[in-house]
């Protein structure tokens, strides 16, 4: 059986990584247009670099939770029949033991050269970092996908959505496209679809089945059901 799993901020919430859409519409005190758009970066690069430097530094203080661990166990059973697509830029899936994670919105631990486009593993602070080691001239920016930019690995993801038998969305609000549309794409091509989220997402009615609760409880239980029917 071919399975595509899409994860969002909710899967890392119990690890202590804040989600994006809280009640006051701010994201760790910032307007989304100021820190997650190319225009925001051009207007105030220092603010944006510091914002991502703080989130990168915070990775040292969090660890994977049972939901990440459950998906790593599923990869060991399904191998290449599982595609794990995450919108998250943290590395908690990898630290739980998943080896083939598709980071469609990029990664905190990677830099992108604004001049030559080279993507390079990155640790530490980007504010004040030397220019790109490849072209020697370009400034580095976070290797993340902001609003108005094209997410990574879209061809590979669409192929997997077309082919999968089961699509499972975990811990995502269904507010941001193209990820929010994956359920309809998978379903149109014949997949069964399942939502695992704390509350009903914006797209909950697109799923055949929705289970609501904490990812740390729901995911290990669902993996167990799938592996030991």
User: Going by DSSP bridges, is the β-strand pair 106-113/101-103 parallel, antiparallel, or unpaired?
Assistant: unpaired
Map residues 12-51 to x or -, x wherever contact with ligand BJW holds by CB under 6 A. Answer: -xx----xxx--------------x---------------
Give the C-alpha separation, 15 to 139, whole Å.
Answer: 32
37 or 165, CB closer to ligand BJW?
37
Which residues are near Zn ion by CB under 5 A?
Answer: 113, 115-116, 118, 132, 134-135, 138
Cβ–Cβ < 8 Å for 11, 171: yes
Interacting partner of 186 out of Zn ion, ligand BJW, none (Cβ under 5 to 8 A depending on kind): none
Closest CA to 105 of 219, 8, 5: 8
C-alpha torsion angle, residues 125, 97, 18, 142 (rounded to 10): 30
Number of helical H runs and strand E runs in the chain: 9, 9
Q: Choose one: 3-11, 38-46, 74-82, 121-129; the region binding ligand BJW (CB under 6 A).
A: 3-11
Phi and psi at 83, nearest 5°, equal: -110, 120
Interacting partner of 147 out of Zn ion, ligand BJW, none (Cβ under 5 to 8 A depending on kind): ligand BJW
State in angstroms the smallest separation of the CB of 143 from Zn ion. 12
Kindly list the residues in this chain that would bind ligand BJW in the complex (CB under 6 A): 8-10, 13-14, 19-21, 36, 87, 89, 105, 144-151, 154, 171-173, 175-178, 197-199, 201, 214-215
Active site residues: 105
């Amino acid at each position: 059986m071919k399975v595509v799993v899409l994860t969002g901020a909710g899967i890392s919430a119990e690890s202590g990584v804040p989600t994006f859409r809280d009640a006051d519409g701010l994201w760790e005190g910032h307007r989304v247009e100021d820190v997650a758009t190319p225009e925001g970066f051009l207007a105030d690069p220092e603010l944006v670099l510091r914002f991502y430097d703080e989130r990168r530094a915070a990775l040292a203080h969090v660890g994977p939770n049972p939901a990440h661990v459950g998906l790593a166990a599923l990869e060991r059973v399904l191998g290449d029949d599982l595609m794990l697509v995450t919108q998250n830029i943290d590395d908690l899936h990898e630290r739980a033991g998943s080896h083939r994670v598709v980071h469609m919105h990029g990664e905190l631990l990677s830099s992108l050269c604004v001049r030559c486009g080279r993507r390079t593993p990155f640790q530490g602070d980007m504010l004040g970092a030397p220019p790109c080691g490849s072209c020697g001239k370009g400034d580095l920016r976070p290797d993340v996908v902001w609003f108005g930019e094209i997410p990574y690995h879209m061809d590979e993801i669409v192929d997997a959505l077309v082919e999968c038998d089961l699509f499972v969305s975990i811990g995502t609000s269904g507010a941001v496209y193209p990820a929010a549309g994956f359920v309809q794409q998978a379903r149109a091509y014949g997949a069964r679809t399942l939502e695992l989220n704390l509350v009903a997402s914006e797209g909950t009615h697109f799923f055949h089945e929705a289970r609501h609760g904490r990812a740390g409880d729901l995911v290990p239980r669902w993996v167990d059901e799938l592996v030991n029917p």
